């Protein structure tokens, strides 16, 4: 009964447009009052302590780093470098945009931010070069979703904190799948452009490749701080985040000089509001997860799955479908906070690696950001390009298909995810 009330209320509140964070808070609160003997003091306490975790502090720091870099012209320089490297291939411009998204994903932890940073510069440029909207909008909208798979990743931090797994391992596990999916997206572009008869351009001279690399160098160094720092065991993710936030601030202000002191308060303000949105959901979702555990729902679900003799593979299909559906309606952090505590115990009993599960969840969330009605990337793309959501959705289809194939590969070949973290952490 309590379970029914919990999920029924949540669903009802979401349906009538109550913000996700508040819906989670209200449904958990009502169940706590009706079905438990806990004092109400537990509620504010749980909410406060759930965001009082040092690992979570990496979220505001990575958001800040990403905002300094995208406002500070690092995105523009990364694009120039990407153009020099892959610009000569068929579909060179959209290919460069995807390549730039892959690089930008490695300095930013969020997908919509990646779409905004690369899309606002490249969408117009691709269209002006004579490509259809499909190429200009579809490629970037999909490639931007790599932002949460290639480290740093806000979604992986949320997963790591929710199910108590090493965020460093998760970050490392995202690297190869991220490159694989990025490669897949570029392959689709290559084939589509070759078919559409776009001619190859002349290859950029080595001087331009080198020159643009040097220009982008200071921005690219963030990748070394984050991936190198965690890889080398020098930094914890939160420390890497702190170092990259201050580093990004420093190079944007003093090296690239694209932002002035007077722009700094606004960048901090934008970062603070984005952080608040994510963390407020975490606070109420943790309360929700606490109620779930109290009602023993994850344990019962795990038992049921075992009784049904589902094997690992059937379970993973189920996980993918469930996450894809949820991803169409909600935003990644809240889905993870609600579903990860449910799925995690089952996955453990079936012998699925917790880090591999984290990668599967993240790739699903990527796809979720591209599927209506609530696909954050779609909204960002639509506002940048000025096209309707329907047109944006249509444009993304070929690349979305590639991502789905990538999802299947990543789901059923664990070693793609686990090879790198196992190599590093032994």
Partner 1 sequence: MLKLLEIFDNLLDKVNIFIMSIMMGIATFVAFINVVLRYVFNMSLTWAGELTSYLFIWSVLFGTAYGFKIGMHLGVTALIQRLKPVTAKRLLTFSLFIVFIFLIIMIKWGYDFVKFNYELEQVSVDLHIQFWIIYLCVPITMIIAAYQILLKIIKIIKMPAEEFSYDLVMKEH
Residues lying near partner 1 in the complex (CB under 8 A) are found at: 13-23, 25-26, 29, 40-41, 43-45, 47-48, 51-54, 57, 60-61, 64, 234-235, 238-239, 241-243, 245-246, 265, 268-269, 271-273, 275-277, 279-280, 329-331, 373-374
Q: How far is the CB of 154 from partner 1 (least distance, A)?
A: 14
User: Can you tell me the distance from the alpha carbon of 131 to that of 197, in angstroms, rounded to the nearest whole number?
Assistant: 11
- In the complex, least distance from residue 198 CB atom to partner 1, rounded to whole angstroms: 38
User: Minimum CB separation from partner 1 for residue 195, in Å?
Assistant: 36
The smaller minimum CB distance to partner 1, of residues 54 and 217, is found at 54
Q: Please tell me what DSSP assigns to residue 259.
A: S
Q: Which lies closer to partner 1 via its Cβ, residue 136 or residue 382?
A: 382
> Cα(143)–Cα(118) distance, rounded to whole angstroms?
10
- 4 vs 41, which CB is nearer to partner 1? 41
Residue corresponding to tokens 């049921």? 304
Residue 381's Cβ-count burial label (10 Å; 0-12, 13-18, 19+) is buried
CB of residue 59 to partner 1, shortest distance in Å? 9
| Residue number with CB closer to partner 1 (2 or 18) | 18
User: CA nearest 364: which of 314, 312, 318?
Assistant: 318
Least distance between partner 1 and beta carbon 58 (Å): 9
**Least distance between partner 1 and beta carbon 239 (Å):** 5
Q: Tell me the CB-side half-sphere exposure of residue 286, using CA atoms within 13 A.
A: 24
Is the CB of 325 or the CB of 413 nearer to partner 1?
Answer: 325
Q: Which residue's CB is nearer to partner 1, number 266 or number 349? A: 266
Q: How far is the CB of 14 from partner 1 (least distance, A)?
A: 5
Nearer to partner 1, 45 or 415 (CB): 45
* Of 137, 147, 63, nearest in space to 383 by CA: 137
- Residue 65 CB, shortest distance to partner 1, in Å, is 9
Residue 16: exposure state from Cβ atoms within 10 A (0-12, 13-18, ≥19)? exposed
DSSP 47: H
Reduced DSSP (H G I as helix, E B as strand, rest coil) percent helix, strand, coil of the chain, to 5: 80, 0, 20
Sign of CA dihedral 59, 393, 77, 199: positive
Nearer to partner 1 by C-beta: 23 or 364? Answer: 23
Q: Which residues contact 190 (CB under 8 A, 6 or more apart)?
A: 89, 90, 91, 95
Give 238 or 417: the residue with its C-beta nearer to partner 1: 238
Q: Which 3 state secondary structure label does DSSP give 26?
A: helix
**Shortest spacing between CB 87 and partner 1, in angstroms:** 36
Rounded Cα–Cα distance for residues 209 and 80 (Å): 9
Q: Which is nearer to partner 1, 99 or 280 (CB)?
A: 280
**In this structure, what token pair is assigned to residue 172?**
């490392």
Which residues lie below 8 Å from residue 188, measured CB to CB, with a gap of 6+?
Answer: 398, 399, 401, 402
The residue among 187 and 272 lying less far from partner 1, judged by its C-beta, is 272
- Cα four-point dihedral sign 109, 372, 314, 409: negative
Count of CB atoms situated within 10 Å of the CB of 160: 26
Contact call for residues 151 and 171 (beta carbons, < 8 A)? yes
Structure tokens given for 20: 């996700």
Nearest-approach distance from CB 166 to partner 1, in angstroms: 18
Nearest distance from residue 88's CB to partner 1, in Å? Answer: 41
């Amino acid at each position: 009964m309590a379970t029914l009330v919990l999920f029924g209320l949540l669903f009802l509140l979401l349906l009538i447009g109550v913000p996700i964070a508040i819906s989670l808070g209200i449904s958990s609160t009502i169940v706590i009052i009706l079905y438990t003997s806990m004092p109400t003091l537990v509620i504010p306490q749980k909410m406060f302590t759930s965001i009082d975790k040092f690992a979570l502090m990496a979220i505001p720091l990575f958001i800040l780093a990403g905002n300094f870099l995208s406002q500070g012209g690092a995105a523009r320089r990364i694009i120039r470098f990407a153009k020099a490297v892959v610009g000569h291939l068929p579909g060179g411009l959209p290919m460069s945009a995807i390549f730039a998204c892959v690089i930008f994903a490695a300095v930013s932890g969020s997908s919509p931010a990646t779409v905004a940073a690369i899309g606002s510069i490249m969408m117009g440029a691709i269209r002006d070069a004579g490509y259809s909207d499909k190429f200009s909008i579809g490629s970037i909208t999909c490639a931007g979703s790599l932002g949460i798979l290639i480290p740093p990743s806000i979604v992986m931090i949320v997963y790591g904190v929710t199910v108590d797994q090493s965020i460093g391992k998760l970050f490392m596990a995202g690297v190869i799948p991220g490159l694989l999916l990025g490669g897949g997206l570029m392959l689709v572009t290559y084939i589509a452009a070759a078919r559409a008869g776009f001619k190859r351009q002349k290859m950029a001279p080595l001087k331009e490749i080198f020159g643009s690399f040097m220009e982008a160098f200071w921005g690219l160094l963030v990748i070394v701080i984050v991936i190198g720092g965690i890889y080398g065991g020098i930094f914890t993710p939160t420390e890497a985040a702190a170092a990259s936030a201050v580093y990004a601030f420093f190079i944007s202000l003093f090296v690239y000089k694209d932002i002035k002191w007077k722009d700094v308060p606004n960048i901090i303000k934008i970062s603070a509001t984005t952080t608040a949105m994510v963390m407020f959901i975490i606070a109420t979702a943790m309360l929700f997860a606490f109620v779930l555990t109290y009602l023993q729902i994850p344990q019962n679900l795990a038992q049921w799955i075992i009784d049904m003799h589902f094997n690992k593979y059937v379970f993973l299909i189920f996980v993918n479908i469930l996450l894809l559906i949820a991803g169409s309606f909600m935003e990644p952090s809240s889905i993870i906070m609600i579903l990860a505590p449910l799925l995690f115990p089952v996955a453990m009993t079936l012998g699925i690696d917790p880090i591999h599960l984290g990668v599967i969840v993240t790739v699903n969330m990527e796809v979720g950001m591209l599927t209506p009605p609530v696909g954050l990337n779609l909204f960002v793309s639509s506002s940048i390009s000025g096209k309707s959501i329907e047109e944006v959705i249509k444009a993304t289809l070929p690349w979305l298909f590639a991502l789905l194939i990538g999802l299947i590969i990543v789901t059923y070949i664990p070693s793609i995810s686990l090879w790198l973290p196992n190599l590093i952490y032994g």
